[in-house]
Structure 1
């Protein structure tokens, strides 16, 4: 029987964010399943939208024997601590080393992990795994669409395969694609030629959405280029908030010959570069966005949904800034709801006070973001929750969620979801678990950039993007870059990075 070792270790690192990822964060998981070890990996990672779950399903259909090691992830934030990285990778690598004879290894990785001691977390993981399995055992990894792929990652893996949707509704499908490519390698005993291209400009995440152009058509063309000669082709727009050499978009192809791989990679890279002008769009200030939403809501039959994009916990924000809440209150919005504000102290105070009580709080604003502060006001406690629920929408895909003690607080006709754990508001259930019915609101303000669209576009009249203070600037040129590779443009059609001159944010 074919024996394959599997594991997962995912983190998207915003090196400019305020809070690091500790071992405890991976144990809890945030928006990911809690850390699982050994045989439990095969029990937990099933029928949910993650790469490993898709791979496990395909492996069982192929009658492969799986040797599970560890599976974990944590909400995006600043660097992974050295302690967390080393403890988790040791379990993974030791599990692979002690597995006996293996025919292959599959890993579910993100591709944009930076640690306290390593710029390239995934490159190091793949290098350590390659060292214990030797040069001949196939090693395949699935990656997030936001991967900042490095030459070292490409070197150590036989294939890297990235998601093709943002919102990421195809994470499990990408695991299945990894299994398909691995099956082809095992059947043909063939190693495919690799081609890797890094693109010359950063792409802000708000314009990476695959529901919209130009990204939608790029992925359609990419899929059409796959063939027997080029079984796997990926485009990763990258995560543009990691200050190191290899941050940015990339293309990677695997072909029967080097010429096949090179031709496919060059074709897609040229298409992407030809769309540089199109990776841009309208972003509102908090007040302009709220006022526009209120005007649209007068005639809308469905909610106006606003992305609070710069405090997206899916991009390193702490999910606790108050700029959009203040704008809702200041402009006297009605039938409005926002979330999730991460504030364990305020959630605890609401639980202590009880439903119906009026509590005076310093809500949110505790992560030290410039231009933000706690919102000191009185709120009515409308509903309390232990924070446990299922998120059935397309992004979370049926995951069990644990937001910790949570509350619905009301100020005027505005309701606020307050939690004790962080996760991106990308599922309607993240309102319903504290008693807010999202479809009945005029305005919803979600701490998310794009993932929310998978579950909210069907109920939305219109989607808007607002830029209140937060850890993930909507304009990548606003970040204080110091370590990018020389010459890469820090936004589409923007200035080229020059390491000898400070960016405008640090000057």
Structure 2
């Protein structure tokens, strides 16, 4: 009778990461309470493909993941606590074949200029140099030298808006799994930094020029010897040396990927003056004047305070202009401001009760850029809750005791109003509203389909589209659009 053979050993790949996009120009720190924390098998909820055949060939070992809405710089003590938990979890696992680094790529931490680089360096100090490390990032992340050195397989989203975020994460995990199973070892990789730093609203893949540049990826990946091609636009609202565009190619033919990476990087560099905003832009007052006769519903993006990119979500530039805009204040036109992060005003609305009229001082409590906190008298039209925004109040602004056309949403926590359900949950109908002002940059799919006319207001805030106005001090120079006459820049291939 033959002896029973032991079952085959599956490769062991650990999973961990911290996922946030941080504006260093926002006055609000990110804290632990801003994050959704998952540990152990709970992490599998992020990976709906975990039971697919290729994935079942791997023993996935999830440790820790923290994810938050984009915000400010993460407080150092919280970061160090989570970093220690990740490193201790890795030590407890022993020898690994691989590691999946589940990150955004634009996290900032107090006192660190390269948080992801610091984290992957710590991880490598525990797992060693042999395990394959893969990562999937937002295309608005940054690829520092340290991050590039610490990872073997790097990729990022290929769409902005990020409709392919899940697809990109699956692609990265599958590539890592199949490469580990193949036994082929580490691929060659090349990085080319490009001295361009542009806001995402100038690099949407819905329009040229980004549309054309990202369309190159299938052609590059079809070349023999290429595993993956990735292009990071970079994160414009952090002031750090790593903030810049980058391309990374991985593959098994070092000469091919080096040649292709340099050619692609040169194509991007030569297109540096071709990028345009995804929608017409104007001042907030200019947008309102235009909105008098625009098609309905009319959407205006309050771009400088977009919480989806790290804004504090409480600047009052847009609201201040609306309070002075007679067509809305007279009630001839209706408008919704979505929204202001203002827990104090939410509590006051709850105390007053639905239907009550009360005085409020809204916004400007965190990011005090002009005009700062604004007094309004309003009727509490609705009180509700939101999975992200928490307790929420809808305030109908009054003037001289009469209704105006202006409605303001105030939320307990920061909240980006990017989908129709967020409005209907509050019994609001943006399709029947003349002007909808949202703290967002380019419109996510729901709002993009809803609008019949759209402009982006170049408002101040932690994610100001006017990068020069923000005052970067630590980025590498020269850099487009901060410097003129940069035609002599020499691109350089970094190999790994």
TM-score by length of 2: 0.89
In structure 1, the partner of 2:116 is: 122
In structure 1, the partner of 2:129 is: 135
Residues in 1 aligned to 2:466 and 2:51: alpha-carbon distance in whole angstroms: 39
In structure 2, the partner of 1:257 is: 253
* Count of residues paired in the alignment: 462
Residues in 1 aligned to 2:274 and 2:453: alpha-carbon distance in whole angstroms: 20
Are 1:473 and 2:475 matched, yes or no? Answer: no
In structure 2, the partner of 1:290 is: 288
Give the Å deviation of 1:152.
0.7
TM-score by length of 1: 0.87
CA deviations 1:236-281 (Å, max 9, x no partner) are 1011121121111111111212212212211221221122122234
Out of 218, 222, 228, the position equivalent to 2:217 is 222
1:39 counterpart SS class: helix
Give the Å deviation of 1:488.
2.0
Give the Å deviation of 1:178.
0.7
Out of 237, 241, 248, the position equivalent to 1:241 is 237
In structure 2, the partner of 1:24 is: 33
Counting only pairs closer than 5 Å after superposition, residues 413-432 of structure 1 correspond to structure 2 as: 413-432=405-424
**Contact 1:22–1:83 (Cα < 8 Å) also in 2:** no
Residues in 2 aligned to 1:435 and 1:39: alpha-carbon distance in whole angstroms: 37
Counting only pairs closer than 5 Å after superposition, residues 342-491 of structure 1 correspond to structure 2 as: 342-387=341-386, 401-411=387-397, 412-450=404-442, 452-491=443-482
Return 358-367 or 453-462, whichever deviates more.
Answer: 453-462
1:141 counterpart SS class: strand
In structure 1, the partner of 2:13 is: 4
1:35 counterpart SS class: strand
In structure 2, the partner of 1:398 is: none
**Contact 2:417–2:438 (Cα < 8 Å) also in 1:** yes
Are 1:310 and 2:308 matched, yes or no? Answer: no
Give the Å deviation of 1:57.
5.6
Counting only pairs closer than 5 Å after superposition, residues 105-184 of structure 1 correspond to structure 2 as: 105-184=99-178
Residues in 2 aligned to 1:79 and 1:494: alpha-carbon distance in whole angstroms: 30
Are 1:81 and 2:75 matched, yes or no? Answer: yes
The 1:347/1:118 distance shift into structure 2, 3 A limit, reads: same
2:354 counterpart SS class: coil
**Contact 2:320–2:371 (Cα < 8 Å) also in 1:** no
Structure 1 unaligned spans of 5+: 27-33, 46-52, 388-400, 497-507
2:291 counterpart SS class: helix
Structure 2 unaligned spans of 5+: 1-9, 398-403, 487-496
The 1:223/1:462 distance shift into structure 2, 3 A limit, reads: farther
Are 1:205 and 2:214 matched, yes or no? Answer: no
The 1:9/1:208 distance shift into structure 2, 3 A limit, reads: same
In structure 2, the partner of 1:330 is: 324
2:390 counterpart SS class: coil
In structure 2, the partner of 1:41 is: 43
**Contact 2:192–2:261 (Cα < 8 Å) also in 1:** yes
Out of 237, 245, 266, the position equivalent to 1:270 is 266
Residues in 2 aligned to 1:255 and 1:55: alpha-carbon distance in whole angstroms: 24
**Contact 2:191–2:249 (Cα < 8 Å) also in 1:** yes
**Contact 1:77–1:317 (Cα < 8 Å) also in 2:** yes
Give the Å deviation of 1:212.
1.4
Residues in 1 aligned to 2:115 and 2:53: alpha-carbon distance in whole angstroms: 26
Structure 1 vs Structure 2 CA RMSD: 1.9
2:173 counterpart SS class: helix
Residues in 2 aligned to 1:179 and 1:235: alpha-carbon distance in whole angstroms: 18
Residues in 2 aligned to 1:314 and 1:101: alpha-carbon distance in whole angstroms: 38
